[in-house]
Structure 1
């Protein structure tokens, strides 16, 4: 599953992080891959001083270079796509 965050609103980021956590809890981490793709204004929330920095540090284990292109590739691979 791909979750898109292209917004600098901390509430949207927390919603995406909650969705990712809930999906993995419900289906089991080993049964579902969840990716959060950020681009545009959403990139500002990746800074160390952002309001969601601590939550992101716990969740982050990988990143990609071009968010929009990555989403396009995942959609082509039939991944579910959610924009909270």
Structure 2
């Protein structure tokens, strides 16, 4: 399942991380494959000093993949060094979304 987040609103991230945590606890990884794609203002929540950085790290240790859109990073002047450890960078958020869609992933826009 791919969770797409383009909002820096804390409520969007609370809902996203809550849903991901719920799936991890109820289904497990594997069989679930979970990815959180952040782009635009949503990138703010993947920074090292973001309020949910520790929760993101814990979810990564459980197998959740967090990815940042490089196109948005350039536009917002965010470097890979500013991202929380373990966050992957993809060339484009929309390309990642299309790739996962073509692989049959379910998508949730948060």
TM exceeds 0.5?
A: yes
TM-superposed deviation, 1:2: 0.2
The structure with more radius of gyration: 2
| Ranges of 4+ aligned residues in structure 1 off by more than 4 Å | none
Greater helix proportion: 1
Pairing partner for 2:99 from 53, 73, 79: 73
Cα gap change, 1:8 to 1:62, in 2 (>3 Å): closer
Q: Structure 2: where are the runs of 5+ without partners?
A: 61-85
User: What is the TM-score normalised by the length of structure 2?
Assistant: 0.68
Gaps of 5+ in 1: none
Answer 1 or 2: which has greater strand percent.
2
Higher relative contact order (CA 8 A, sep 6+): 1
Aligned match of 2:7: 7
Query: CA–CA distance in 2 between the matches of 1:81 and 1:5?
Result: 11
Change in 2 beyond 3 A, CA 1:52/1:62 = closer
The size of the alignment, in residue pairs, is 84
Distance in 1 separating the partners of 2:52 and 2:100: 25
Once residues 20 and 36 of structure 1 are traced to their aligned partners in structure 2, the CA distance between those partners, rounded to angstroms, is 9
Q: TM-score, normalized by length of structure 1?
A: 0.86
What corresponds to 1:32 in structure 2?
Answer: 32
SS at match of 1:3: strand
Q: What residue number does 2:88 align with? A: 63
